[in-house]
Chain A
């Protein structure tokens, strides 16, 4: 009896595995030689715009190396996966992939030879892309410069490195098929929904993930993580003091800057750079869709909230008046309040640091012609639920790419000590935000410093 039960269990498990294996098994699609000349320039152009919306270039380009030739380290909780070479090089890139193979990769997360791809490649989004869009993307990629650059093996520990695990992941999180249009919404909204949810894969960063790394379906745009940065919530949970409008989202995506919110930093910087090649209409559509998740949808409410936020921000965004020389010494804590988190009593007060280190840019100087950042009170990181993003910016600063116009903020990672950064960030929070103080900035700082990802690979 026992044996029979055991045998049954083994058979059931065995056949389940067999069935799973059979399901998970994919055949190789034979190699092809796709001649670049066959592509319609109009299709290639459409593919270029879709590649911009999809930001393919970010994960498939190593810093300082050839575009689309792979090597970018994508950090996941499960290990580091390196973006692959998607140039048409036949040996190291996707030059031998047919359009069918390419489509299968995007729709099903399976490479040409039949291997399951890790979901760091967001096929849970791309699966919604139309065949014709994927065809255009294919045409665009196949007309790029072929670059011979071998792919780097993922640094994923056993047993996660067994590719079959990816198949299991798909069972849970890959929901194939197109997104049904919402007839109650405008055509622009539906276009935005399609772009944002498929190629745009906004949720890959802005939607929280569960322990298995799948996006939480009930938490769409509720905020996630990217490369050690906070990808802020875009829905009602957004920490932005001013509720986003479609116009503001559009300005942000188009120019990397929205007056009421600030500028794109961290991993959003290259996204905005890529989106320069996206069409205005597509960006407006995405903006309309994304803004429809924002907390306030009523114009009057929003106007009132915006005004309140602006009034507060402006009331706080001024330099602390200069006391007589020598009146403040490093042992005096100008901004000391009971309950303030600052473990190091020897640290100068955050207010003192702020004036010397930050105020030359972050101050309101009347009509002083400074190309000044927004009021800190409007900043999302300053108002975020935890200090990680603000700490990250204080440590690393913000740097435009070579020769490009764009805000420069120097990093203070090496200039200020940890207690000083803690005091400064605590001051910024209490001075510029209506949100409660962050409870443990020092611990968050330690964590952010540990999370420091190398911007480029060591040579």
Chain B
């Protein structure tokens, strides 16, 4: 039995502890966002956050994740109430087939939690582990910049309110 904290909820998982997180998210927890792309840590379609760090869930056994904070796109927001990164991607229409986009959004979320206003070069470097075959890169970059601005503005609003 492995206990996982996913998007703030505790789950008791009864599968082989060597099973990579991706399969548990998708099949045991029925979370669709993280995708199988290569199973080799080369494409980033499976990217999720663990303790604020973007990681490849396809090569991370659940046994190493007890007591750690896992987040997926489902934790960023919902169709009715999308989070700032999701809103930015929707506003920029930053998807074609969309298969890689959840991984992109988690990679972007991880970046923005560490660096609230990254330069263009920093965004490109941070996003480098993730591949998009449809060629949506330009829109993804725009969406990450838009999300950064929105999150900064939100943070500003929160600060203002606090005053």
Bound form: Cα–Cα A409–B40 in Å: 8
Contact A330 B2 (CB under 8 A): yes
Contact B60 A356 (CB under 8 A): yes
Q: Which of A194-202, A209-217, A261-269, A410-418 contacts its partner?
A: A410-418
Bound form: Cα–Cα A185–B80 in Å: 78
B80 to chain A, nearest CB (A): 32
Bound form: Cα–Cα A125–B53 in Å: 44
B154 lies within 8 A of chain A by Cβ: no
Q: Which of A34-42, A102-110, A133-141, A347-355 contacts its partner?
A: A347-355
Contact B16 A357 (CB under 8 A): no
Contact B40 A417 (CB under 8 A): no
Contact A330 B19 (CB under 8 A): no
**Among B14, B41, B62, residue most surrounded by chain A Cβ atoms (within 10 Å):** B41
For residues 9 through 60 of chain A, which have their beta carbon under 8 Å from a beta carbon of chain B? none
Contact B64 A408 (CB under 8 A): no
For residues 25 through 64 of chain B, which have their beta carbon under 8 Å from a beta carbon of chain A? 39-42, 50, 53-56, 58-64
For residues 373 through 408 of chain A, which have their beta carbon under 8 Å from a beta carbon of chain B? 397, 408
Bound form: Cα–Cα A410–B47 in Å: 12
Q: A326-B1, A408-B41 are known contacts. Are A348 and B14 too (CB-CB below 8 A)?
A: no
| CB-contact partner of A330 in B14, B15, B17, B54, under 8 A | B17
Contact A348 B17 (CB under 8 A): yes
Bound form: Cα–Cα A355–B58 in Å: 12
**Inter-chain contacts of B119 with A (CB < 8 A):** 459
Contact B14 A360 (CB under 8 A): no
A159 lies within 8 A of chain B by Cβ: no
**Inter-chain contacts of B42 with A (CB < 8 A):** 408, 410
Bound form: Cα–Cα A327–B2 in Å: 12
Contact A410 B56 (CB under 8 A): yes
Residue of B nearest to A355 (CB): B18
Bound form: Cα–Cα A287–B29 in Å: 54
Bound form: Cα–Cα A329–B56 in Å: 22
Contact A352 B17 (CB under 8 A): yes
A184 lies within 8 A of chain B by Cβ: no
Residues of A that sit less than 8 Å from B by CB = 322-323, 325-330, 348, 352-353, 355-358, 360-361, 397, 408-410, 414-417, 420, 459
Known: A330-B63, A410-B56, A459-B119. 5 other contacts (CB 8 A): A328-B18, A356-B61, A357-B59, A409-B41, A410-B42
Please list 12 pairs of residues, one from A and one from B, whose beta carbons are closer than 8 Å in the complex, sorted by A's number. A325-B14, A328-B17, A329-B1, A329-B17, A330-B66, A348-B17, A352-B17, A352-B61, A353-B64, A356-B64, A357-B59, A409-B41
